[in-house]
């Protein structure tokens, strides 16, 4: 494979992966619960660690192949999942500053201005 052929495949692949990350990130923006997001992150980190352990174990050659697949999939999935913004708590209308009652002095009198 010549360098031109390599770049002709590699660059569009990177661009397509970046577009996929953008698409997933915008579709799931603040639509995933924080607990679900955390569980996803922990599963993917566990997949990365598990794959590395399987790759470095000296007993079975098949463990290396499976471990590489785990690391490969988990890393790419983590790159996508890390661009998802989990849902955040929003202020309820009762707790916004514009709707809080004005401060009043003793006996229900308004606080003096100035």
Chain centroid to Cα 41, Å, comes to 7
On average, the pLDDT of the chain sits at 86
Is position 73 within any domain? yes
Establish if 40 belongs to a structural domain.
yes
pLDDT tens track for 48-76: 999 999 999 988 889 899 999 999 999 99
Whole-prediction pTM: 0.70
- Report yes or no: 55 and 64 within 8 Å, Cβ to Cβ: yes
CB 63 within 8 A of CB 110: no
User: What residue ranges of the chain have pLDDT lower than 50?
Assistant: none
- Helical H segments across the chain, by residue range: 3-27, 34-56, 61-81
Is 49 inside any structural domain?
A: yes
Range of the domain at 46: 34-83
Number of domains in the chain: 1
């Amino acid at each position: 494979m010549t360098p031109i052929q390599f770049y002709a495949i590699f660059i569009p692949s990177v661009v397509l992966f970046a577009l996929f990350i953008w698409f997933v990130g915008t579709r799931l923006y603040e639509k995933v619960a924080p607990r679900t997001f955390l569980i996803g992150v922990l599963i993917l980190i566990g997949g990365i660690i598990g794959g590395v352990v399987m790759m470095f174990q000296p007993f079975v050659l098949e463990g290396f192949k499976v471990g590489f697949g785990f690391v490969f999939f988990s890393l790419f999935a983590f790159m996508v999942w890390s661009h998802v913004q989990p849902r955040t708590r929003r202020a309820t209308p009762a707790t916004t500053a514009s709707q809080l009652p004005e401060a009043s002095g003793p006996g229900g009198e308004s606080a003096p201005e100035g």
